[in-house]
């Protein structure tokens, strides 16, 4: 049978766009169908606007800190609508870049909501991006589902009054009092954004420390840094009821407290986006939380249908979705062996101020494999000495497998941590040892030089596994 395309990609987010472009580069006839935003979550409602807002939130402190360096500056006021408009202009520019990259690669762009009719046929229906599209069908030999994820809202009374990150990027005014629920990436990052811009922030979470899954020392250091930023943390707490009281929202918690706010923001995780995809017309299998099950080659249970990125709920990070999309296109259409990536050393960063960044194993994870040597440095970065924020610490940690002396984990909380960590991730991916770090000359004066000057072991942690 002759299909319209060799490959049809559903979703023009980070993973889908990379897959489509690389496949088209190999000469395949490729189409990508997008229902909402060119560039997907990362560009429109995630990484990019978030980082711009984090940067916006840091100028206030910088102005104050400049006094210690002799500047006679006066802290000003922040205009939220100006920030949102500037951010939107940048996002519109990036949307255009995504479209032109796809067009230049020879990819056919389709707009609308795609729904499986069968394993080779999609019906394209009107959607947010194409409200007046005429419904039609397209066929392809292979189809990639790259539909991403969507915010998850827990079930409690009044939850509909709360917003998620989807709405946070377009609030008409900055709320003066914000309650953030959840202490994962989004909760921590938006707590920092709103606090930096002058809002009163309450961070509500159900554990003893924020950022489950990160190294315990980093979680502790982050919790301290959150307190230093003036954010109130409510630990071991869950929401019971949200209601309106005049202009206020009132959130009742299960510890008996209630919090008044202008905005209650749920940052309680994301779920694979599979709604109305017509998966019932295929053999694609979904498992817990709607995750599409795939094999190592990103192929679903339906031969010829693949899934990449957040919809598979593996490592839900933009660069991983890009890697998955690239490898899939290599494998389906390339002539050389597909690119290999080291997912085990995927670096990650949480853009609080100061940010946290990590690569490799936590101390607890590493100790399951063998006894580990732990090196920790804690100091006040130079700019905060004259700047006057001596309580704004940097914490660095090396986790070293004692038997091999390989550095198996690096964790940093501090200014520029993600920038440092990206380079260190190469060393950890390469399997370098503590001796390799030790024989590397530092750059002085930097925070990063601590990574190569940690001479004295802080402690030994015995094998637990
Ligand atoms: P996370 O999974 O990171 O965190 C979710 C938070 O919500 C946790 O604190 C979790 O608690 C809590 N939670 C979950 N369910 C409930 C519930 N029913 N009641 C109360 N609390 C609950 O999700 P995010 O929404 O922060 O981010 C989604 C994903 O997006 C991230 O995991 C990451 O993959 C990606 N992302 C990456 C960023 C980056 O790279 N910088 C930035 C933003 C997002 P508990 O820990 O107890 O489960």
How far apart are alpha carbons 169 and 151 in whole angstroms? 13
Which atom of ligand 1 is nearest to 207's Cα? 47
Pick the CATH number of 345-460 from 2.40.30.20, 3.30.390.30, 3.10.580.10, 2.30.110.10: 3.30.390.30
Phi, psi of 31 (to 5 degrees): -130, 150
Q: What is the DSSP string of 87-148?
A: HHHHHHHHHHHHHHHHHHTTPEEEESEEEEEETTEEEEE--SS-TTPPPEEEEEEEEEE---
Ligand-binding site membership of 187 (annotated):
yes
How many Å lie between the centroid of ligand 1 and the Cα of residue 364?
21
CATH fold match for the domains 159-268 and 345-460: no
Domain ranges of the chain: 5-49+81-150+271-341, 159-268, 345-460
Does ligand 1 lie within 6 Å of residue 236's CB atom?
no
Q: Is 165 annotated as a binding residue?
A: no
User: What residue's CA is closest to ligand 1, atom 20?
Assistant: 238
| Strands 263-266 vs 258-261: parallel, antiparallel or unpaired | unpaired
Q: Which residues, in sequence order, are CB contacts of 111 under 8 Å at separation 6+?
A: 33, 34, 35, 124, 127, 129, 130, 133
Nearest Cα residue to 38 out of 9, 13, 20 = 13
The pLDDT value given to residue 23: 98
Note whether 159 and 153 are within 8 A (CB). Answer: yes
Q: Which of 150, 182, 291 to mutate to test the pocket of ligand 1 (most atoms within 8 A of CB)?
A: 182
Give me ligand 1 centre to Cα 196, in Å.
21
Contact indicator for 274, 282 with CB cutoff of 8 Å: no
Low-confidence ranges of the chain (pLDDT < 50): none
Q: Is residue 185 annotated as involved in ligand binding?
A: yes
* CATH code of domain 5-49+81-150+271-341: 3.50.50.60
What does the pLDDT read at residue 90?
98
Q: What kind of fold does domain 159-268 have according to CATH?
A: FAD/NAD(P)-binding domain (3.50.50)
**CB-ligand 1 contact for 148 (6 Å cutoff):** no
Is 310 labelled a binding residue?
yes
Give the integer Cα–Cα distance in Å for 259 and 251. 5
The answer to whether 149 is annotated as binding is yes
Tell me the CA–centroid distance for residue 275 and ligand 1, in Å: 20
Nearest CA to ligand 1 atom 22: 268
Q: Does the model's pTM come out above 0.85?
A: yes
CA pair distance 164, 162, nearest whole angstrom? 7
The single-letter DSSP state of residue 443 is -
Residue 444 appears among annotated catalytic residues: yes
- Our answer on whether the CB atom of 349 is closer than 6 Å to any ligand 1 atom is yes
The reported pLDDT for the residue numbered 465 is 79
Ligand 1 pocket, residue 42 CB under 6 Å: no
What is the reported pLDDT for 305? 98
Pick the catalytic residue from 136, 170, 236, 444. Answer: 444
Task: Determine if ligand 1 sits within 6 Å of the CB of residue 36.
Answer: no
Judge whether 114 and 147 are in contact, CB under 8 Å. no
| DSSP assigned state of 441 | P
How far, CA to CA in Å, does 384 sit from each of 64, 356, 415, 428? Answer: 11, 17, 10, 29
Nearest residue (by CA) to ligand 1, atom 17, is 154
Helix ranges (DSSP H) in 229-275: none
* Ligand 1 centroid to residue 166 C-alpha, Å: 14
């Amino acid at each position: 049978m002759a299909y319209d395309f060799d490959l049809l990609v559903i979703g023009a987010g980070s993973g889908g766009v990379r897959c489509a472009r690389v496949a088209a580069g190999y000469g395949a006839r490729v189409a990508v169908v997008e229902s909402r935003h060119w560039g997907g979550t990362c560009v429109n409602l995630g990484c990019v606007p978030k980082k711009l807002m984090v940067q916006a939130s840091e100028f206030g402190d910088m102005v104050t800190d400049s006094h210690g360096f002799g500047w006679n500056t006066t802290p000003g006021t922040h205009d939220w609508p100006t920030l949102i408009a500037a951010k939107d202009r940048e996002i519109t520019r990036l949307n255009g870049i995504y479209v032109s990259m796809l067009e230049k690669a020879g990819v056919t762009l389709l707009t609308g909501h795609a729904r499986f009719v069968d394993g080779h046929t999609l019906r394209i229906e009107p959607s947010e991006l194409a409200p007046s599209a005429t419904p039609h069908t397209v066929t392809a030999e292979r189809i990639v589902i790259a539909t991403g994820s969507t915010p998850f809202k827990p079930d409690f009374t009044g939850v509909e009054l709360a917003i998620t990150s989807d709405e946070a990027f377009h609030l008409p005014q900055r709320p003066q009092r914000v309650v953030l629920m959840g202490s994962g990436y989004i909760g921590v990052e938006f707590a920092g954004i709103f606090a930096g811009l002058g809002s009163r922030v309450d961070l509500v979470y159900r554990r003893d420390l924020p950022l489950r899954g990160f190294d315990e020392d980093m979680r502790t250091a982050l919790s301290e840094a959150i307190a230093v930023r003036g954010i109130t943390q409510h630990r071991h707490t869950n929401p019971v009821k949200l209601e309106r009281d005049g202009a206020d929202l009132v959130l009742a918690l299960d510890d008996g407290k209630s919090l008044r706010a202008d905005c209650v923001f749920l940052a309680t995780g994301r779920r694979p986006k599979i709604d109305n995809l017509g998966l019932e017309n295929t053999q694609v299998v979904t498992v817990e939380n709607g995750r599409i099950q795939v094999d190592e080659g990103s192929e679903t249970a339906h031969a010829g249908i693949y899934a990449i990125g957040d919809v598979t709920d593996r490592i839900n990070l933009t660069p991983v979705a890009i890697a998955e999309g690239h490898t899939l296109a290599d494998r389906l259409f390339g002539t050389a062996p597909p690119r290999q990536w080291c997912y085990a050393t995927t670096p990650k960063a949480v853009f609080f101020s100061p940010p946290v960044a990590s690569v490799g194993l936590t101390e607890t994870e590493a100790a399951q494999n063998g006894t580990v040597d732990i090196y920790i440095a804690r100091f006040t970065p130079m700019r905060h000495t004259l700047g006057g924020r001596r309580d704004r610490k940097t914490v660095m940690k090396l986790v070293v497998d004692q038997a091999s002396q390989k550095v198996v984990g690096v964790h940093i909380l501090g200014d520029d941590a993600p920038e440092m960590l990206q380079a260190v991730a190469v060393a950890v991916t390469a399997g370098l040892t503590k001796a390799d770090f030790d024989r590397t000359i530092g750059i002085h004066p930097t925070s990063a030089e601590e990574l190569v000057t940690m001479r004295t072991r802080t402690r030994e942690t015995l094998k637990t596994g």
